[in-house]
Amino acid sequence: MKICFYALRDDELQFCPAMKEKYGVDFIYTSEYPNDKNISLAENCDGMSCTPCDMSRKVLESFRNVGVKYILTRSIGYDHIDRAAARELGLKVDTVSYTPTGVADYAIMLMLASVRRFAHTLRRADLQDYSLKNKLGRDFSACTVGVMGTGRIGTTVIQHLSGFGCRILAYDVHENETAKRFAQYVDRDTIFRESDIITLHMNANDDNYHIIGHDSIAKMKPGAYIINTARGKLVDSDAIIAGIESGKLGGAALDVLEYENGLYYYNRMGEVIVNQKLAILRSFPNVILSPHTAFYTAEDVRDMVEGIFRSCYEFETGKKPHGVEA
């Protein structure tokens, strides 16, 4: 059994030798993302592993043609993979899971930073501007927080929020008994209408594409905040920009963006980035952009690396994989 890792970082590599020993799965790797020149590296490998990047039909066909059987993404989300094409090509797909506390606590950190205008305050302090103008925040404990998506991460957010004394609303197609202990389940419109802060913890699919858009923002309280540590496709960037410019939104904290492939995880210092929406969002003092780092803890990275080795082992030994299989 053998895996070819793409875009493998040093912080991931440190866990690979132990996982090779634990699961009996060999590995090779490159720090580059998959491209026409390096797909051949995966020849004679059972699986390939990637972080979110272009995994369209053409790319999948190329991996199938060099003998790859398993597409193993080092992420919870899988919207970057053409799963229909994978099924047609006979490729099996699996995701990873990791402890939910890292992303959950990061989301809460972004909520606190947003309502207290913390990033703006720090930027001004760096310029030795210690005045109070335009720094007035809100009492987080007095806010109503709407949590959209109550899987493992969303439910952990709800549990941790309960210690702040916030009123917590929840929305999901499937209700979670643990979440019910701390939050009230309501419909989407109630979330939009009554929440001071809306935090997203859903996978991206056709049903929730741009769940935060012009129509939903129009239903929100004046001054509401949007927090997204899930998937960029959940949020219409144009709608966020319009909401900020009109004053309808109080702010936003976005760890993920649409069209972030080729941007996040690259060093683009000194380059012209052709992304006008990114440029506009960066210009707003009440918008926080972080480069898809909510997951980035030592514990989560280890879990993700182990998940790839375990998935390959489970596929090869006929066991049911733990993640989302195509």
Residues 52, 263: Cα–Cα separation, whole Å: 11
Residues 99, 251: Cα–Cα separation, whole Å: 28
By C-alpha distance, which of 42, 50, 34, 45 is closest to 93? 50
Residues 147, 221: Cα–Cα separation, whole Å: 15
pLDDT at site 136: 96
Indicate whether 326 pLDDT > 50: no
CB atoms within 10 A of CB 318: 6
β-sheet bridge partners, residue 249: 224
284 to each of 20, 160, 242, 258, how far by Cα in Å? 46, 29, 12, 18
pLDDT at site 223: 97
The second-level CATH assignment, the architecture, of 2-98+297-316 is 3-Layer(aba) Sandwich (3.40)
Active-site residue list: 231, 260, 292
pLDDT at site 240: 98
Indicate whether 225 pLDDT > 50: yes
Indicate whether 324 pLDDT > 60: no
pLDDT at site 260: 86
- List pLDDT tens digits, range 3-17: 999 999 999 999 999
Indicate whether 216 pLDDT > 90: yes
Q: What is the DSSP letter of 146?
A: E
pLDDT at site 322: 62
- List pLDDT tens digits, range 266-321: 888 999 988 999 999 999 999 999 999 999 999 999 999 999 999 999 999 988 76
β-sheet bridge partners, residue 146: 169, 198
Would the CATH topology of 2-98+297-316 be identical to that of 101-289?
yes
CB atoms within 10 A of CB 172: 17
pLDDT confidence bin for 171, thresholds 50/70/90: very high
Question: Quick check: 249 and 225 in contact, CB under 8 A?
Answer: yes
| Fold assignment, 101-289 | Rossmann fold (3.40.50)
Q: What is the chain's mean pLDDT, rounded?
A: 94
Q: Where are the domains of the chain?
A: 2-98+297-316, 101-289
Which contiguous run of DSSP H or E holds residue 1?
Answer: none
β-sheet bridge partners, residue 212: 235
pLDDT confidence bin for 233, thresholds 50/70/90: very high
Q: What is the DSSP string of 211-275?
A: SBSHHHHHTSPTTEEEEE-S-GGGB-HHHHHHHHHHT-EEEEEES--TT-TTTTTS--TTSPP--
* 3-class SS shares of the chain: helix, strand, coil, % to 5: 40, 15, 45
**15-24, 106-115, 316-325: the lowest-pLDDT one:** 316-325
pLDDT at site 266: 81
**19-23, 56-60, 75-79: the lowest-pLDDT one:** 75-79
By C-alpha distance, which of 97, 28, 88, 30 is closest to 64? 88
- List pLDDT tens digits, range 128-168: 999 999 999 999 999 999 999 999 999 999 999 999 999 99
Residues 6+ apart with CB under 8 A from 238: 214, 277
The upper half-sphere exposure of residue 128, i.e. CA atoms within 13 Å in the direction of its Cβ, equals 0
